[in-house]
Structure formats: structure tokens, C-alpha cells
Amino acid sequence: AEQARAREIELGVAAQKGLLGGAAADAADTDGEQPRLSRVAERALAAFYDAQRARHQQERDRFIKSGRAGPGAKWNRQELYLNAGRAADARAASRRHLARHPGWWLGRGRLSEEALREIIAAQHFFQVDLEDLALPASERRSEDVYGVGGEACADICEQFLLDAPRSTFVMQGEVVDFSEEAGPDAACWDPEEAERRKRAFADALVVRLRQLLASADGVVPSPLLLRAVSTALSQSGMAGVERACESSMLAVSGGEQRSRYELRALGGEHLGGGGPDDPRGAGGDAGVRAFELGLLVRKDGFQQCFVFGSFEGEPVQLRCCEGSYVEKACTVHLRLGPSGGALDVDVVALRNEVRILGPDGRELAAFGGRGSWRLLASAAGRVSRAVCACGVCCRQCCRRPSAGEGPLLVRARA
């Protein structure tokens, strides 16, 4: 059974590659070249992949020096950017995705280079997770596990089961929340009873997920679809959104975090054609099914955060009041071909909001707009260097003079 399931997943991903290949052909120029993008889009594309290569090259160098070099998920992730062929394939896929949505990089409503870069990153990370489902264990870039919990949870991501009782889910408009269902009685449960209730809630959520993903005629969802959706609607999928928005450059301390995942089946207007952003034309694909996935995480109630000037730099601590929040949201479309095997992922929206209020309740100017936390990150680096310089001066000014040495005088400018 496991071999048959693995084969079905492999065939589904192979069909998916064919679907994407057709989309690329339609989006490309008539002479067969890659689709042309605007200069801003090209810069965003280059910036993302150049940064990934530089970052993973540093990781590879550290791996080799530490003697830990060898096969593994982290090593395989590095290969995605350090191997020229794989990096070129990934960049081409990102280019095709942008070609689907010309409104993002053309016209008066076009996005900024930074916003494009975040969307490129989100799409890329979701695509990598999808491709991972068909790879042998030795070649995977993630460490997600499936099928934990018996046959009822076959092809369900373990992280989905772990997140079920601590997140809010909206399944075709129906809100499913363990804390609301448990109510005040949960405080009286002993640990064993609490775990039993959580497990029962997760099992019921899996049943609801399977029902929603089943086609109208009751066909059982494919293993590829179950794995893709349950991975995306968990911390595994949310991690890609966080990385795409470079949230690692801003870390909060304390407060609360709430995660919300939504899943709904889409109507005919979303089934692979008819929209101006879809390169496959107005006719669509008969028999194609589509689903919309929504991921949202909000962190608030914290009174301090840390800003990193770079991935390697020391963080700068900032005090803030409880009105501060960080919120990230992503909308993804998954399309299935008529056979149920071809699966296409498409990030259609991404939102990244950061609002940091100082101790006096005033909003810090560096966080006033989308992505402007970069300004503070840059400023944080300058502040760190200034503090270090001040420390050196203070040591020079405050040290006691040696024997035979006069006092050190410091003149201040008016």
C-alpha cells in the first residue's frame, strides 16, 4: 500500500510538471524564449536568488568547516541554490509565476521591488514543498512526516495534526476552533484527558478536510493533494510565508501568537482560465478543480522586539507597547487537472504588516510603511557601530592616566 501511494504521488508530480510546462509555453514569447518581465521584476527576481545563493553558500562553508558535510535536508536545500542547473530551473519557475500576474509589475498598480521579491519567495517556498512530496527521502529539502496516527491519518502531515488544537481553521466558511469547542471546562481536564480531546479534535478535522477535498462525485482525494494541503495548512506552510517576509530579521519577545488557516473549494471562474492573469487562455481546462488556501499569523501583546541588521549581525533590542503587532497573510490557489493528479500551486496574494509602537505609544517612523522595517534594520546596524565606537571612546576617556601621563582632555563642540 505504501509503495502504491508513493507511486501515485510520483505520477501526480510528474503530471504537475507537464501542466507547468504548458503554462510556460503559453506565457513565453512566440520565439520560445522565457517571458519578458519589467526591469523592477527582473531586479526582484535576481535579488531573491542572489541572496539565497549567498546565504546558503555561507551555510555550506560552515557545514564543511564543522565536518558535518553530507546528505540531509539542510544540505539538499543548499544544493537547490548552489547547483547551477537546479537554481536555473527554480528561477525559471518563478519567472513563469510572475508572467501569470502582469498586473503586479505593469501599469499604475504595480508593486514595489520589495513586494515582488516577497511574493517570489512565497511562491518559490510553496513550490519547493510541493516538489518535495515526490522526492526520495534522501533528496528531500524538508523533514515533514506523513501518516502518523494510523490509516485515518494516511497522507496527512504530522505538523497539521500538531497544529490542529492550537490554531483556528475555517473549512468552506465553517470555523473550527478547539479552544472554543472546549470552553471553560478545559481547565478541569487532567493531562491525559486533554490529550485525548485534542486527538479526537484533530481526527475530526482530518475527516472534514478529506470531505472538502473530495470531488462532487465522492472520489477519494489523491495522496498528493492530501499531503500538499495538510502541509500548507500548518506551521510547515506558515514557515515559508514567514521566510518570504523575512520575519527572521524582526523577532518579538512575549505576547501572543494566533494562527488561522482557511480552505475552500473555488467556483468555475477560478478553474484555470478566463482571467487576464492566467497564461493558459480564456477557455480554461474542463474538469479542473481548484481550492483556495489562506494562511494568517498575528503576533501582538509584546513589549519588546529585536531587529537584526543582517542575518549574521547582533540584534538591537527595542522597547514597545502592547499596541504593536506583526501580521502576515498569504492566499494560495491549488489547481487539479481532470485526472486529479496534476497539481499546480499559485500564490495570488501576500500581505506583510508590521506596526511597532514605542513606549510612549507613538508609531516608530521606520515601521510606517510596508517593508520599511528594513530602514530600521539598516539603522540598527549603524546604531550598533556607533555604540561600539562610543564604547571605545568612553574607555579612552575614562581610563586612568599611566604614570608620567597627563590627563586626557576631550573638547565638546558647541
CB 332 within 8 Å of CB 343: no
414: pLDDT strictly greater than 70? no
Determine, yes or no, domain membership for 49.
yes
What mean pLDDT do residues 378-391 have? Answer: 44
Query: Left if phi > 0, otherwise alpha if psi is -120 to 50, otherwise beta: which for 108?
Result: alpha
Model-level pTM? Answer: 0.78
Our count of domains for the chain comes to 1
Determine, yes or no, domain membership for 390.
no
Give me the residue label for grid cell 498528493. 224
Determine, yes or no, domain membership for 127.
yes
Q: What is the pLDDT of residue 8?
A: 53
Determine, yes or no, domain membership for 281.
yes
Q: What is the pLDDT of residue 35?
A: 82
* Total residue length of the chain: 414
Does 216 or 324 have the greater pLDDT score? 324
Q: What is the pLDDT of residue 288?
A: 64
Determine, yes or no, domain membership for 413.
no
How high does pLDDT run on average in the chain? 79
Determine, yes or no, domain membership for 402.
no
Q: For the CA atoms of 33, 38, 42, 47, what is the dihedral angle to 10 degrees?
A: -170
352: pLDDT strictly greater than 70? yes
Determine, yes or no, domain membership for 356.
yes
22: pLDDT strictly greater than 80? no
Worst-scoring range by mean pLDDT, 154-168, 245-259, 346-360, 361-375?
361-375
406: pLDDT strictly greater than 50? no
69: pLDDT strictly greater than 60? yes
What mean pLDDT do residues 79-104 have? Answer: 96
What mean pLDDT do residues 60-81 have? Answer: 87
What is the domain extent for residue 168? Answer: 2-183+190-374
